[in-house]
Amino acid sequence: MHLHKYEKYWLGLGIIGLIAFLLILGFGAFYLGTHPQSHGELIDPENLEMNEAFHEENLGLTKVDEGRYVLNVVASAFNYNLGTDESGAPISHIEIPAGSKVLVQATSPDVVHGLNFAGTNINMMVEPGYVSALEVQLDNPGEYTLVCNEYCGVGHHMMFGTMEVVE
């Protein structure tokens, strides 16, 4: 088989690029100890209340400190449980002051769900048996829609809520 000299150059360049990519990846993984994210916390999907964060009274938005909040969410059977108000009605809208740091913790008792506040960098996969957590700074005021971005069944389109970042 005869290769043109330009084909040899491009083939050599591709092989050099592949070797460089693998060396950089290996350096990061083995020498620097970089690893893909893993779920740090396991939870029994049949008994979510064993974890204090997912007790009924701890669901929703909780102020931890000045400018710091925790949002605990249970995604299940075509709804997001963001807690209940004083009358016992489910909450689907939360308000957070602009400039706040929010730790979002979510889990699911049934199937894989997504948790995405459209327009923010909050985008998580919520898996049964795991607690997904993400800490974000919410600086931009506005109303953001909470949607499930992982198909979870026939009622998937009914999973929504809103978060309003206020001045």
pLDDT tens-place string over residues 65-112: 999 999 999 998 898 999 888 888 888 999 999 999 999 999 999 999
Task: Quickly count: other Cβ atoms within 10 Å of residue 72's Cβ.
Answer: 24
Whether 164 shows a pLDDT value over 90: the answer reads: yes
pTM of the model: 0.74
Whole-angstrom distance, CA of residue 48 vs CA of residue 65: 25
Angstrom CA distances, 144 to 16, 34, 42, 90, stand at: 45, 33, 29, 18
Res 33: pLDDT: 74
Whether 39 shows a pLDDT value over 60: the answer reads: no
Angstrom CA distances, 82 to 2, 37, 77, stand at: 67, 26, 14
Res 147: pLDDT: 93
Confidence of residue 135 (pLDDT cuts 50, 70, 90): very high
Res 38: pLDDT: 61
Average pLDDT for 126-149? 92
Average pLDDT, the chain: 89
Which parts of the chain are beta strand (E)? 41-42, 60-65, 68-76, 79-81, 93-97, 100-107, 113-117, 123-126, 130-138, 142-147, 160-166
